[in-house]
DNA sequence: ACCGCGGGTAAAAAGACGGTTACCAGGGTT
DNA sequence: AACCCTGGTAACCGTCTTTTTACCCGCGGT
């Protein structure tokens, strides 16, 4: 974890550096807005601790410039000003938390952890079998960065196959997992969908990643070999 | 946006309800821990405001149980206790922010907004998907610097879609987060509003940024690709 | 080689799903 | 009171998915 600290007071800066390093963070130090802007843009960091009362360039302006540059790291603001207007202004500008000096270092640390936890929280879970990538939150399939549209049931089938990549799945098992209702289908729905998937997964009809295991069912194999 | 408020003091509860409703949130109210636990598990909400000093079940315990149940909504803790140990305890248990009573309502609102934004993966209040920009503080939509007026519910829908840009949202999910009442709507409100939004977002009817994912729901896609 | 079974393919049939429009009700405004 | 705006409902229609049906192919065993 890399944390950028923008703080002009040498004593506090040193203390922040010490505390953050102790719990295992990598720390960059900047003493004013200009330096802060530079660091933020230069080194990709996971979080920023920003003092609002800075020489040269105000904290608010700094936040705006970072956000305009599409830098989305969480920002924890540190300040002596406790008026609610200041807090609201900072938060609306794109800060993520606001701590009034003087503060207890333990609280700062706890808030940092919380921010990092949140920021890391929205990672998509996707099934990755190069060159295929199935994003389960967006329901998007990409083949070598090329997007392919899937219908509802095509998606369900592929998801189930990729979840159990490598192992053969019987038609029976597949229908049971794709369909809510109990009714057994005596038709060849699965075959039909497998065909459609194969066509989409492998337009050139070389080696579709869905193998048929005769007498058993189907298996998704990652084509890497 | 659906917010759950767990607060035993009737006066504060009413005030929270009023303020949150005014800015267009859907609000669930719970008076104690047991009720809070139930609501949090029953209705999918986007955020929780939780008073720590509750009868029946303590706030800390409530947080633990929610988190154990894999409920990941942001939690803003409200309390009279200002000791840093309490704050750290709540944050480490899984809360996301901590506000000491008495507080200014504007600050609470700003912090809520910040939490919601961050939980959805955005870093500031302008939801920017060129050429669309939705300003959450002013509730204004601009398309290429051209202002477009939105009605209340149009805004709610668009905000929710853009906050979760890329992922398909089911009609069910949308009604639950936009509407207060319990009754499930079997009508096609969402379709109608989607149509109205599309008309405003894309008057020439070229490529409206709201895609329909058949059998699933709708998805906001940034047109730039 | 021949037969049978399991699977593949194509195309039609069914039907679910969403788009669209028109219309109504309520609230606020003039 | 008449009007406008907004939110919500209902009905109709087109289309895209899903499902079925029918038929073909090829492998393996006899």
Across the interface, whether the CB atoms of A84 and B107 are under 8 A apart is answered: yes
- Please name the helix (run of DSSP H) or strand (run of DSSP E) that holds residue A40, with its range, or none: helix A33-42
Of B78, B72, B158, give the one whose Cα is nearest residue B116.
B72
- Whose tokens are 């979080």? That residue is A47
Chain B positions in Cβ-Cβ contact with residue A92 (cut-off 8 Å): 110, 113, 125, 137
Chain B positions in Cβ-Cβ contact with residue A99 (cut-off 8 Å): none
Distance CA A105, CA B18 (A): 36
Q: Are A181 and A173 in contact (CB under 8 A)?
A: no
What pLDDT shows up at residue A185? 63
CB of A181 within 7 Å of some strand D atom: no
Q: Structure pTM?
A: 0.92
Of B11, B60, B5, B9, give the one whose Cα is nearest residue B35.
B5
Q: What is the dihedral of CA B99, B105, B106, B111, to 10 degrees?
A: 30
CA distances, A212 to each of A130, A161, A216, B186 (Å): 20, 12, 8, 42
Across the interface, whether the CB atoms of A72 and B123 are under 8 A apart is answered: yes
What pLDDT shows up at residue A184? 63
How close, in Å, is residue A107 to chain B by CA atoms? 6
For residue B146, the cross-strand partners are: B143
- Please name the helix (run of DSSP H) or strand (run of DSSP E) that holds residue B176, with its range, or none: helix B171-178
Handedness of CA B28, B34, B40, B41 (dihedral sign): negative
What pLDDT shows up at residue B169? 97
What pLDDT shows up at residue A177? 87
Q: Are A132 and A209 in contact (CB under 8 A)?
A: yes
**pLDDT value at B104 more than 80:** yes
CB of A179 within 7 Å of some strand D atom: yes
How close, in Å, is residue B73 to chain A by CA atoms? 10
Helical segments of A51-209, H only: 59-68, 84-93, 105-121, 152-163, 171-178, 189-201
Q: What is the Cα gyration radius of chain B?
A: 18
What pLDDT shows up at residue B43? 86
For residue A99, the cross-strand partners are: A78
DSSP letter assigned to residue B147: E
- Backbone torsion region of residue B139, taken as left when φ is above 0, otherwise alpha when ψ lies between -120 and 50, otherwise beta: left
Please write the tens of the pLDDT for every residue from B22-74.
999 999 999 998 999 999 888 889 999 999 988 777 889 999 999 999 999 99
Q: How confident is the model at residue B184 (pLDDT cuts 50, 70, 90)?
A: low
Q: Does A143 touch chain B (CB under 8 A)?
A: no
Chain B positions in Cβ-Cβ contact with residue A157 (cut-off 8 Å): none
What pLDDT shows up at residue A223? 67
**pLDDT value at B83 more than 60:** yes
Please identify every stretch of chain A with a pLDDT value under 70, giving residue numbers as ranges: 122, 181-185, 223-225
């Amino acid at each position: 974890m890399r944390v950028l600290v923008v703080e002009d007071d040498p004593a506090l800066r040193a203390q922040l550096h010490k505390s953050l390093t102790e719990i295992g963070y990598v720390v960059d130090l900047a003493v004013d807005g200009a330096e802060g802007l530079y660091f933020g843009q230069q080194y990709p960091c996971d979080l920023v601790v920003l003092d609002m009362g800075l020489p040269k360039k105000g904290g608010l302006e700094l936040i705006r410039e970072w956000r305009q540059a599409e830098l989305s790291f969480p920002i924890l603001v540190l300040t002596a000003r406790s008026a609610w207007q200041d807090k609201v202004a900072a938060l609306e500008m794109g800060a993520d938390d606001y701590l009034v000096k003087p503060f207890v270092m333990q609280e700062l640390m706890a808030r940092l952890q919380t921010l990092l936890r949140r920021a890391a929280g929205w990672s998509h879970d996707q099934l990755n079998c190069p060159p295929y990538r199935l994003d389960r939150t967006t329901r998007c399939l990409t083949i070598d960065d090329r997007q392919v549209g899937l219908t509802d049931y095509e998606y369900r089938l592929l998801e189930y196959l990729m979840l159990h990549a490598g192992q053969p799945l019987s038609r029976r098992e597949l229908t049971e997992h794709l369909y809510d209702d109990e009714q057994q289908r005596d038709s060849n729905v699965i075959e039909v969908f497998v065909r459609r998937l194969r066509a989409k997964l492998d337009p050139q009809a070389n080696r579709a990643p869905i193998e048929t295991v005769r007498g058993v069912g189907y298996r998704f194999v990652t084509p890497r070999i």
